[in-house]
Amino acid sequence: MFKTFSLELAGRTLSVDIGRVSAQANGAAFMHYGDITVLSTATASEKPRDGIDFFPLSVEYEEKLYSVGKIPGGFNKREGKASENAILTSRVIDRPMRPLFPKDYRNDVTLNNLVMSVDPECRPELVAMLGSAIATSISDIPFCGPCATTQIGLVDGAFVVNPNQEQWKNGDLQLTVASTSEKVIMIEAGANEVPEAKMIEAIYMAHEVNQKIIAWINEIVAEVGKAKHEYTSCAIPEEMFAAIKEIVPPVEMEEAVFTDEKQVREENIRKITDKLEEAFADKEDWLPVLGEAVYQYQKKTVRKMILKDQKRPDGRAMNQIRKLAAEVDIIPRVHGSAMFTRGQTQICNVCTLAPLSEVQKIDGLDDNEKAKRYMHHYNFPAYSVGETKVSRGPGRREIGHGALAEKALVAVLPSEEEFPYAIRTVSETFESNGSTSMASTCSSCMSLMAAGVPIKKMVAGISCGLVTGDTDDDFVLLTDIQGLEDFFGDMDFKVTGTEDGITAIQMDIKIHGLTRPIVEGAIARCREARMFIMENCMKPAIAEPRKTVNEYAPKIVQIKIDPEKIGEVVGQRGKTINEIIARTNVKIDITDEGAVSVCGTDAAMMDKAIEMIQTIVTDFEEGQVFKGKVVSIKEFGAFVEFAPGKEGMVHISKISKERIEHVEDVLTLGDEVKVVCLGKDKMGRMSFSIKDCK
């Protein structure tokens, strides 16, 4: 027996079947929105995982290509590893929901979202977010929900609630907001320089819509929700904290953490841990959780220093940015490079330019996005935090950070018509102590300008932190949080933008939501900080994009031809275009609209390729002069190839001003000659003359 619940949402019917499928999961929601179908499930292990000091939550978003009527490519014809979009969607579901589980809960929990049908008028990612919230809320898994998620677009200056795929891609705003019944708990945005005030308006429009959804979910829970199960608490015993404070008084812990050198702080904590291990040698039940206890002690100490004493661990003022440095051209022979340093966070970014044929091909559920021209990749090696670890490729965190920095800069990139290049930037983390993704944004912006990419405006980014007290009014905002303030604080609010508006937001929190004054204050702080970074650090290093691309970058010239002539340029089975490429050693891309991009490093060869293409597509008229090569000799004359795949005939009487008996007396195969067009002969062939050429 199952029950269906429905809600009218943004002009469409959102419905969920409970009890219809997946009865063995702790909670299952069979979601429908338009023609979108997503199965969301929540499952939990019976017992906590041993030996861990974190909540083991896994979120999966599975894109099945049958949902859009496609068979996967490749030999196996199966879906492979998760796409970048699937990973980013999983992160957006994880971030608002993780803080709503009990802090001392250590049972494994998996939230799985299976996309089974896609409707271009809706977005399956949104349905999965809502499905995860419903499945968890009706399950017996401890959860302080419900929560809800709404997306806002901006099309022609007007906000659109839960936009369709086309509106989402082409609008000026891509905003995702998650809320509880009281507060905002997650913000993710990409924007085309949306002013701060308008962004705040959009955030709270989404928050209002979320309240309607939460009321609906509460009705579902009241009717079909399960009682929450009991669990084994993994909280640190209070008597252990008391014993630790006797051995290490609060003043000693304050001295240990109060330094702007991460390595010094870690050494101080190591000594304290060794001291406690020695003191608790006979406490076998305490030793396994000692590391977590010391972490919690540090956290309480740092939070008290910030909130009550208005004192940051490195001594900065609450709105003060760490020491800044920036430089460009630090790597030779690459197309563009820049390094940005903020305190102990240091990112080197390298920019590479290539012809448009090098764009990233995308085989996903969105038919509107089949290729990506700008790619930002982020790497976080273990040495950047002083650790030893073998690299296994980018994880979800690296992919998420790279996507955020990419989103930050998309709004200021030139169009393909203005700059016909594929662009890749790679951020290498040299050192990390807080907000490397924002440092990546700054270094990427400078790297693009150093490479000669004519970006419209400079972009910078910064992160704002938060420490809260017992009431909503008791909080402190922290500009430019370092790692310790991120670990022990309540929020990591990242904002990127230009002088005129926001280009990206990503907000992570560890508490049950933010009040509006906190959101507004954080956005204002981030604007103030990014203005300071641009004026005092980035502009002195490079104030504007270079006028030309780097000497080692490929040069691209674009011309326009009649789309009906594309076949002539390409030739049968690509013979003509391949001949041009072979002769000139260039790369050629042609769009369906007739835009031809010629890419190479030798300007003379590029000019030659363009001349060949223009010759091929020219409607020949009498009197036009061409350069060609003799490719065939007959008794009655010679055939001259004046462009790849294009030939014309020179009659023997038109070869020389003097009478000749044999063509071979004047011409040999391979001779390069200048010819003038005489029009077409009786057989419809191009007729040329050598002797009449001036």
Segments forming the whole domain that contains residue 368: 324-541
200 CB-contact burial (10 Å; exposed 0-12 / middle 13-18 / buried 19+):
middle
Quote the pLDDT of residue 694. Answer: 66
Query: Do 597 and 514 reside in the same domain of the chain?
Result: no
Q: Of 513, 541, 569, which closes a domain?
A: 541
Q: Which amino acid is at 40?
A: S
Least confident residue range of 296-300, 504-508, 514-518: 296-300
Q: Which amino acid is at 11?
A: G
Query: Do 595 and 493 reside in the same domain of the chain?
Result: no
Q: Of 510, 541, 572, which closes a domain?
A: 541
Query: Do 518 and 611 reside in the same domain of the chain?
Result: no
- The SS3 call for residue 441 is helix
Q: CA dihedral in degrees (178, 182, 185, 188; nearest 10)?
A: 40
- What CATH number is associated with residue 600? 3.30.1370.10
How many CB atoms neighbour CB 63 within 10 A? Answer: 22
Query: Do 646 and 536 reside in the same domain of the chain?
Result: no
Contact 187, 509 (CB under 8 A): no
Q: What is the enclosing helix (H) or strand (E) of 89? A: helix 84-97
pLDDT, one tens digit per residue, over 457-482 is: 999 999 999 999 989 999 999 999 99
Query: Do 457 and 592 reside in the same domain of the chain?
Result: no
Contact 450, 351 (CB under 8 A): yes
In a domain, 300, yes or no: yes
Contact 185, 147 (CB under 8 A): yes
Distance CA 229, CA 27 (A): 13
Q: What is the enclosing helix (H) or strand (E) of 289? A: none
- The SS3 call for residue 519 is helix
* pLDDT (mean) for 350-375: 83
Distance CA 100, CA 682 (A): 85
**How many Cα atoms are found within 13 Å in the side-chain-facing hemisphere of 74?**
8
Query: Do 69 and 199 reside in the same domain of the chain?
Result: yes
Joined together, the tokens standing for residue 84 give 């970048």
Beta bridge partners of 149: 178
**Regarding predicted confidence, which is higher, 516 or 238?**
516
Query: Do 380 and 397 reside in the same domain of the chain?
Result: yes
Q: Which amino acid is at 637?
A: G
In a domain, 666, yes or no: yes
Query: Do 328 and 212 reside in the same domain of the chain?
Result: no
In a domain, 674, yes or no: yes
513 φ/ψ sector (left φ>0, alpha ψ -120 to 50, else beta): left
Distance CA 439, CA 446 (A): 11
Q: Is the dihedral of CA 369, 371, 372, 377 positive or negative?
A: positive
> What pTM was estimated for this model as a whole?
0.88
Quote the pLDDT of residue 368. Answer: 59
Quote the pLDDT of residue 199. Answer: 97
In a domain, 181, yes or no: no
- The SS3 call for residue 61 is strand
Least confident residue range of 381-385, 447-451, 661-665: 661-665
% of the chain beyond a pLDDT of 90: 58
- What pLDDT band is residue 357 in, cutting at 50, 70 and 90? confident
Q: Of 512, 541, 570, which closes a domain?
A: 541
In a domain, 164, yes or no: no
**Regarding predicted confidence, which is higher, 133 or 626?**
133
**Regarding predicted confidence, which is higher, 583 or 174?**
174
Give the closest residue to 674 by CA, choosing from 654, 644, 658, 660.
654
Q: Which amino acid is at 473?
A: D
Q: CA dihedral in degrees (203, 209, 211, 214; nearest 10)?
A: -120
Cis peptide before 146 (omega within 30 of 0): yes
pLDDT, one tens digit per residue, over 62-76 is: 999 999 998 887 788
CA angle 110, 41, 211 (to 5 degrees): 105
In a domain, 180, yes or no: no
Quote the pLDDT of residue 448. Answer: 98
Asked if the model's pLDDT at residue 95 lies above 80, the reply is: yes
Asked if the model's pLDDT at residue 501 lies above 90, the reply is: yes
Quote the pLDDT of residue 611. Answer: 83
- What pLDDT band is residue 667 in, cutting at 50, 70 and 90? confident
In a domain, 417, yes or no: yes
Q: Which amino acid is at 620?
A: F
Least confident residue range of 102-106, 215-219, 359-363: 359-363
Chain centroid offset of residue 108 CA: 29
Q: What average pLDDT is seen over the chain?
A: 91
In a domain, 230, yes or no: no
pLDDT, one tens digit per residue, over 524-562 is: 999 999 999 999 999 999 999 999 999 899 999 888 888
pLDDT, one tens digit per residue, over 675-684 is: 888 877 777 6
- What CATH number is associated with residue 124? 3.30.230.70
CA angle 352, 356, 361 (to 5 degrees): 95
Query: Do 530 and 485 reside in the same domain of the chain?
Result: yes
Structural domain tally of the chain? 5
- What CATH number is associated with residue 629? 2.40.50.140
Least confident residue range of 18-27, 371-380, 552-561: 552-561
Asked if the model's pLDDT at residue 646 lies above 80, the reply is: no
Query: Do 356 and 487 reside in the same domain of the chain?
Result: yes
Asked if the model's pLDDT at residue 620 lies above 80, the reply is: no
* pLDDT (mean) for 557-574: 87
* pLDDT (mean) for 144-172: 95
Query: Do 422 and 491 reside in the same domain of the chain?
Result: yes
Query: Do 685 and 648 reside in the same domain of the chain?
Result: yes
Q: How far is CA 366 from CA 70, 117, 118, 124, in A?
A: 12, 12, 9, 10
Quote the pLDDT of residue 170. Answer: 92
Q: What is the enclosing helix (H) or strand (E) of 497? A: strand 491-497
Quote the pLDDT of residue 369. Answer: 63
* pLDDT (mean) for 307-328: 93
- Backbone phi and psi for residue 151, each to the nearest 5 degrees, phi listed first: -110, 140
